[in-house]
Chain A
Amino acid sequence: MKYDSHFKYMSLTLIWVWLGIFALLSFLLVLGVSFLEHDATHIVIPKFTWSSYTFLFHPILLKIFGYSFVVAITATASCLLIGYPFAYFLSQIHIRYKSLLMLFLVIPFWTSSLVRSYAVMAILKTKGILNTILLSLGLIHEPLQLLFTNTAVTIGLVYNLLPFMVLPLYANFERLDERLLEAAEDLGASRFMTLYRILIPLTKPGIYAGIMMVFLPSMTLFYIPDLLGGARSVLLGNLIENQFLFANNWPVGSAISVLLTFVMGVMLLVYWRNSQRSDNKQQVLL
């Protein structure tokens, strides 16, 4: 008993210390830097200013924000459209094939995602695998310009983030009572009706969780737009990278990071409030 509680406190303390140093403290540093001045010769000058934040409203930056949102939303929607049927299928098939398919889904995790992004480049480039196949099939007459476009960035994001959509959805489908679908069918529901009125409402938690897991990284995975989007494609993730590494403008980079953290915080809050409400409801019901 005593040993247990010691162990509990130790592991909890370890987690808190870890999070305190590497999450809270580093965020506070970023927050601090975002309010400091900057010039060509100094990374930061210890004087308070709002200028980094007013710079965020510069038309070019607003355009990049908008762009990032569109790409992130497209990637998330694509992941949902592909991942939802996939997760459902995965939950339905025989247990023997289930573990095999799960393995296929997880194998890419064991390879560096940077390497995998280069693989996507090899597929999409002008003389790449995809164009070669399409040309030899006679579907197109000249190679498609896919690489270094936002389409390529979206494809790269979907490819990298699909498992994060599938896993929470799969967990949700696994918990679903099959008999509810049978009951709907018994009551005369068409397939569409069953999907729209029963399946989707009952898998909402999985859908929300999947969206959170895909949307947030979509905006910050900087190497994907770097590699697949080329020089013209500047999204929030690589914008921050540029500010820190190339422009040496730490305050602006920090301000963008703080803004992004704020947006994510709001999203998490909405998600948390939602799940909290349904939890409360369930507690009342029980």
Chain B
Amino acid sequence: MAQNIVEIKNASKSFADQEILRDISLEVRQGEFLTLLGPSGCGKTTLLRLISGFEHPTTGQVFIDGKDMVDTAPPLRHVNTVFQSYALFPHMTVYENVAFGLECHHVPKGEIPERVMAALAMVKLEKYSQRKPKQLSGGQQQRVAIARAVVNEPLVLLLDEPLSSLDYRLRKDMQLELKQLQRKLGIAFIFVTHDQEEALSMSDRVVVMEEGSVQQVGTPREVYEEPVNLTVAKFIGETNIFDTEVVSLFEDQILVSIEEEKHTYLNKGGFALGQKVHVVVRPEDIRVWDQEKVKHESNMIAGVVEEVIYKGTTMDLRVRLKSGKWVATTEFFDEDDPKLEYHIGQKVWLQWMPGWEVILPYEV
């Protein structure tokens, strides 16, 4: 009935004198893939442990399926966790590991084999049911951990950086599999990661955390294209940041100065005259023109190519501006620019489509 399967209201958590989480409010919707994203030590794992019940909030409340969890111990919450190190029971076979949760919940004996094998089939490990965890590869152990959790049909599955110890290729495969599994099961996944690419590619919504508080909650597109502050902008993707101030203001537009050039932008943030702002531009939004071939227009910034990095699908440049600041650009090979040939020392113009920039209030 409750549309939000998990609700956290004004939760704070302190260990000794250290505040780990600060006034967190968060809703997790039924059946969504939610990612808690942030650098290590930002409190994302602690937040997950508030939901699983291994930590209690110092202040605030946690609701699961509409019920206050204040007095509910972890075994009685209908959530399961996939631990970072998998935490498989080394003395039990894969089958016994997966069956353990069912036995704890007193599932009828006759039902257990069928459910265990179904869970193992889901992660394609039926053949390995009699092996011990140590006889499996990292990726296989990971799947056992997932099967062991989902076999209990939790309301929410919590995943604590489950892919961090896998190598790159395997991680990519597991990302896809997890996403498919989540769609198939239709339950909410709360996924903790510090890898922004992982967060963007898997999630329905991303919660960006920093130093114990939630910075922004939104779809991957929202947090990438419309970051609400500098922290989010810097943490997700590469950014070029110009520090400047509003020089003049008319109707719905503002004029700012970047590299001694006047730039006019839509005043989406309601900025005032004289206010200091950051203009944030993603490398892939910047177009690069050869100064010998293209004439100077407004909103163009002059620079010198300092580094050329061929990346297969893209051509990345580092361009040094007059002020000494450098800017990163990323251009895709397409029918307009099949070659994209640059050389170090080349004089170029940088330009981006008005409106593709993000203007944020100044932060120290």
Contact = CB atoms under 8 A, between A and B. Distances in A.
Given A285-B135, A286-B134, A198 B75 contact: no
Given A177-B87, A202-B91, A184 B135 contact: no
Given A282-B134, A285-B134, A188 B152 contact: yes
A12 to B, nearest CB: 33
B142 to A, nearest CB: 14
Interface stretch (A53-61, A62-70, A74-82, A189-197): A189-197
Contacts of A6: none
Given A183-B81, A198-B89, A201-B91, A190 B75 contact: yes
B134 A183 contact: no
Contact of A187 (B85, B104, B134, B135): B104
Q: Among the interface residues B52, B74, B88, B149, which one has the most CB atoms of the partner chain A within 10 A?
A: B74
Nearest to B78: A188
B274 interface: no
A184 B149 CA distance: 11
Nearest to B79: A186
B83 A179 contact: yes
A182 interface: yes
Contacts of B105: 188
Contacts of B87: 177, 179-180, 182-183
B100 A189 contact: yes
A177 B52 CA distance: 19
Q: Give the dominant DSSP class at A's interface.
A: helix
Interface string B184-218: 00000000000000000000000000000000000
Interface string B132-153: 1011000000000000110010
A189 B104 contact: yes
Given A179-B83, A202-B91, A185 B100 contact: no
Interface residues of A, number: 22
B: contact size bracket:
20 to 34
A197 B91 CA distance: 10
Contacts of A281: 132
A54 to B, nearest CB: 46
Contacts of B52: 186
Interface in B73-129: 73-76, 80-81, 83, 85, 87-91, 100-101, 103-105
Contacts of A282: 134
B148 A187 contact: yes
Contact of B80 (A177, A180, A187, A189): A187
Contact of B152 (A180, A187, A193, A198): A187
Given A186-B83, A187-B75, A285-B132, 16 more contacts: A177-B85, A179-B87, A180-B87, A182-B54, A182-B74, A182-B87, A183-B81, A183-B87, A185-B74, A186-B149, A188-B76, A188-B101, A190-B75, A202-B91, A282-B134, A285-B134
Interface of B: 52, 54, 73-76, 80-81, 83, 85, 87-91, 100-101, 103-105, 132, 134-135, 148-149, 152
Interface of A: 177, 179-180, 182-190, 193, 197-198, 201-202, 281-282, 284-286
